[in-house]
């Protein structure tokens, strides 16, 4: 069968799609362009309303075109009724059932209608063949689900409680990826700092085992919530000291107002987040700080918004993922009274402008920097994307004599809003 694989959302979804793509090809099916497909495997995301609406539109359109549609990812776990209203003939593959994608295709080919394959336990996420988006980057999902209960979050409902994968299986998965030529390892989950809470270990111990593997590679640790980092902060910093780990801390604060954080049920205060950032910067002065902020959460006042803006001015994070709040079904916050959308748009625009100015100002200070970078992957247009030890992105326009996984000494010569430009010294 001719299959088009559509992937939306996070790195965990990308990892699942890599696994499904390899299985599809192994069974003799072909991966093709959207227009030529007989079957569309749609790996969905439901974090944001805009993404949800885009996916529902595509599912409807594929049905009109007469394509069979197999929906997986987060949406069918929590919004199956919405999907069926859009296209009542869709097939469903549960978020933990990606290993059964070819069985689903075979049953679709044999004429099964409205197929449903759902399992409660995640299986075959590690040590399986993959068709990677980037040949040098291995995305390793270390757990499924989350034990937090943020009042706005639908992902916890979709993926369920925390299920950490066995450390031996993770280490072997990464060891094999390194032998296959991967030089950058992305550890992904819903909250990396929660890893191991359910099996008597933690992310610090796992990072030490991964760092001990032979080979010249780099590790990017995914998002970690402040409430999960706090109990293991010192052990985490010790693990991050290994040169194989990028000095990147992705710590979503969501708001700098403790009152709003309580309404969000975030289980941390802004003081907790500041303490974590301070310790990382003390230990790794060149570290990169990413964060996420939700603008316009129900009950957010002008004062609360001002607290968040002031926090950005003081902390000066390197990257801020800004989301306008949209209510998600089945969550506690679904029943909260929303703020006027015009106010949310105005606050979001103001915060975007502030973050962009800080980011560009910080980048310009690095022009002239010389040091070692790790060649991550081919750049989108020309040359290669490289990374400093702090995960700063530096595009090297040169192509001749450069390969993925190589280390280079470079000089930063210019900046763009999204990345640096450099030359090989």
CB atoms closer than 10 angstroms to residue 260:
22
Q: What is the mean pLDDT of the chain?
A: 96
| This prediction's pTM | 0.94
As to burial, measured by CB atoms within 10 angstroms (0-12 exposed, 13-18 middle, 19+ buried), residue 50 is exposed
Q: What CA–CA distances, in Å, run from 18 to 5, 138, 187?
A: 10, 10, 15
Angle at 386 between CA 202 and CA 8, to 5 degrees: 65
pLDDT digits (tens, 9 = 90+) for 170-184: 999 999 999 999 999
| Contact call for residues 139 and 18 (beta carbons, < 8 A) | yes
Q: What is the mean pLDDT of residues 402-415?
A: 92
pLDDT digits (tens, 9 = 90+) for 317-336: 999 999 999 999 999 999 99
Q: Where are the domains of the chain?
A: 2-117, 137-364, 370-424
Least-confidence region, from 58-62, 226-230, 316-320, 405-409: 405-409
Residue 411 main-chain phi, psi, to 5 deg: -125, 135
> Which CATH code is given to the segment(s) 370-424?
2.40.50.140
The fold for domain 2-117 equals: Rossmann fold (3.40.50)
> Which CATH code is given to the segment(s) 137-364?
3.80.30.20
User: What would the two tokens of residue 11 be?
Assistant: 């790195």
Q: For residue 417, is pLDDT > 90?
A: no
Q: For residue 224, is pLDDT > 90?
A: yes
């Amino acid at each position: 069968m001719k299959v088009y694989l559509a992937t939306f959302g996070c790195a965990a979804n990308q990892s699942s799609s890599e696994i499904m793509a390899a299985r599809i090809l192994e069974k003799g099916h072909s991966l093709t362009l959207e227009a030529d497909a007989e079957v569309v495997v749609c790996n969905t995301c439901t974090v944001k309303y805009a993404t949800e609406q885009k996916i529902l539109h595509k599912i409807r359109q594929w049905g009109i075109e007469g394509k069979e549609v197999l929906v997986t990812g987060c949406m069918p776990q929590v919004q199956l009724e919405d999907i069926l209203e859009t296209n009542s003939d869709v097939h469903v593959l549960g978020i933990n059932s990606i290993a059964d994608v070819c069985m689903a295709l075979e049953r679709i080919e044999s004429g099964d209608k409205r197929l449903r394959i759902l399992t409660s336990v995640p299986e075959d996420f590690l040590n399986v063949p993959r068709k990677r988006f980037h040949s040098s980057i291995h995305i390793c999902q270390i757990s499924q689900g989350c034990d937090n209960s943020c009042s706005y979050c639908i992902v916890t409902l979709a993926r369920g409680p925390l299920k950490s994968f066995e450390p031996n299986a993770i280490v072997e998965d990464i060891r094999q990826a390194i032998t296959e030529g991967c030089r950058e390892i992305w550890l992904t989950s819903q909250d990396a700092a929660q890893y191991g809470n359910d099996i008597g270990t933690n992310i610090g111990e796992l990072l030490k085992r991964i760092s001990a593997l032979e080979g010249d590679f780099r590790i990017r640790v995914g998002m970690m919530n402040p409430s999960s980092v706090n109990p293991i902060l010192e052990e985490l910093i010790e693990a991050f000291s290994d040169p194989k780990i990028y000095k990147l801390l992705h710590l979503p604060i969501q708001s700098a107002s403790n009152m709003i954080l309580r309404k969000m049920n975030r289980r941390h205060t802004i003081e907790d987040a500041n303490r974590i950032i301070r310790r990382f910067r003390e230990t790794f002065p060149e570290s990169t700080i990413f964060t996420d902020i939700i603008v316009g959460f129900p009950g957010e006042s002008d004062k609360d918004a001002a607290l968040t803006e002031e926090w950005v001015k003081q902390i000066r994070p390197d990257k801020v993922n800004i989301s306008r709040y949209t209510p998600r079904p089945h969550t506690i916050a679904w029943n909260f009274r929303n703020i006027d959308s015009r106010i949310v748009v105005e606050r979001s625009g103001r915060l975007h402008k502030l973050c962009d100015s800080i980011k560009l100002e910080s980048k310009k200070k690095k022009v002239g920097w010389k040091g070692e970078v790790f060649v991550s992957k081919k750049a989108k247009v020309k040359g290669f994307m490289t990374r400093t030890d702090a995960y700063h992105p530096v595009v090297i326009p040169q192509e001749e004599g450069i390969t993925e996984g190589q280390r280079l000494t470079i000089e930063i010569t210019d900046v763009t809003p999204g990345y640096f430009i450099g030359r090989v010294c």
